[in-house]
């Protein structure tokens, strides 16, 4: 039976961490495989009302292949396709809500970077707010109560000790 020593375990953990970090940055560099030259040459609009709407909608959508970044920030192939669809819908004259509704119907509410404040998703908005409002008073109450209960730290008053000793002396005399 092989039992690894501490140095081998540490090396394995460092190697696993390195691979994990490298994998998480792969989305920023683009996916592996053949590169679509047309997608790289495509310039996304940045001027005028269409450019503002494009950037606003693209930054509101989550990259399906990356972790924690928007479609606008990602260079992944899937994000490029989504940006193309957003651009088509912006040029067709659709509003922000219509475009977001299209993607929500297609991919579900997880595609949105911030959940809509309706239905079950209201918990995602109310829970942090309630923790911020009720947390400090609750911590203060429990800490304050704990201090009151443990204020003597196991030390009894002299009168209580004298009374207990007198009661034991009375028991012994009887």
Indicate whether 47 and 126 sit together in one domain: no
Q: Does 77 reside within a domain?
A: yes
Indicate whether 104 and 135 sit together in one domain: no
How many independent structural domains does the chain possess?
Answer: 2
Indicate whether 125 and 109 sit together in one domain: no
pLDDT at 3: 53
Indicate whether 108 and 135 sit together in one domain: no
Q: Does 130 reside within a domain?
A: yes
pLDDT at 168: 94
65 DSSP assignment: S
Indicate whether 61 and 129 sit together in one domain: no
Condensed to tens digits (0 to 9), the pLDDT of residues 10-69 reads: 766 666 665 655 555 545 444 444 434 444 445 566 667 878 888 898 888 998 888 888
Q: Does 57 reside within a domain?
A: yes
Indicate whether 94 and 21 sit together in one domain: yes
Q: Which residue in the block uniquely carries the two structure tokens 């992944």?
A: 76
Condensed to tens digits (0 to 9), the pLDDT of residues 150-159 reads: 556 667 788 8
What sections of 30-156 are H helices per DSSP? Answer: 37-41, 48-60, 77-91, 96-107, 122-149
| Structural domain range at position 91 | 6-114
In the listed set 71, 93, 114, which residue is the last one of a domain according to the structure? 114
pTM: 0.50
Q: Does 1 reside within a domain?
A: no
Nearest-angstrom CA–CA distance, 145 and 20: 45
Indicate whether 15 and 101 sit together in one domain: yes
Condensed to tens digits (0 to 9), the pLDDT of residues 75-127 reads: 888 888 999 999 999 999 999 999 999 988 888 888 888 877 677 777 877 88
């Amino acid at each position: 039976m092989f039992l690894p020593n501490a140095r081998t375990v540490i090396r394995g953990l460092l190697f696993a961490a390195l691979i994990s970090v490298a994998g998480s940055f792969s989305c920023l560099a683009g996916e592996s495989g053949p590169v679509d030259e047309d997608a790289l040459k495509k310039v996304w609009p940045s001027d005028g009302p269409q450019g503002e709407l494009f950037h606003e909608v693209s930054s509101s959508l989550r990259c399906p292949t990356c972790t924690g970044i928007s479609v606008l920030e990602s260079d992944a192939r899937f994000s490029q396709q989504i940006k193309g669809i957003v651009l088509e819908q912006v040029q067709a004259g659709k509003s922000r809500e219509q475009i977001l509704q299209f993607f929500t119907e297609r991919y579900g509410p997880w595609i949105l970077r911030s959940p809509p404040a309706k239905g079950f998703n209201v918990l995602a908005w109310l829970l942090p707010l309630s923790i911020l409002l009720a947390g400090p008073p609750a911590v203060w109450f429990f800490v304050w109560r704990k201090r009151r209960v443990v204020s003597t730290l196991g030390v009894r008053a002299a009168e209580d000790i004298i009374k207990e000793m007198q009661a034991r002396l009375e028991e012994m005399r009887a």
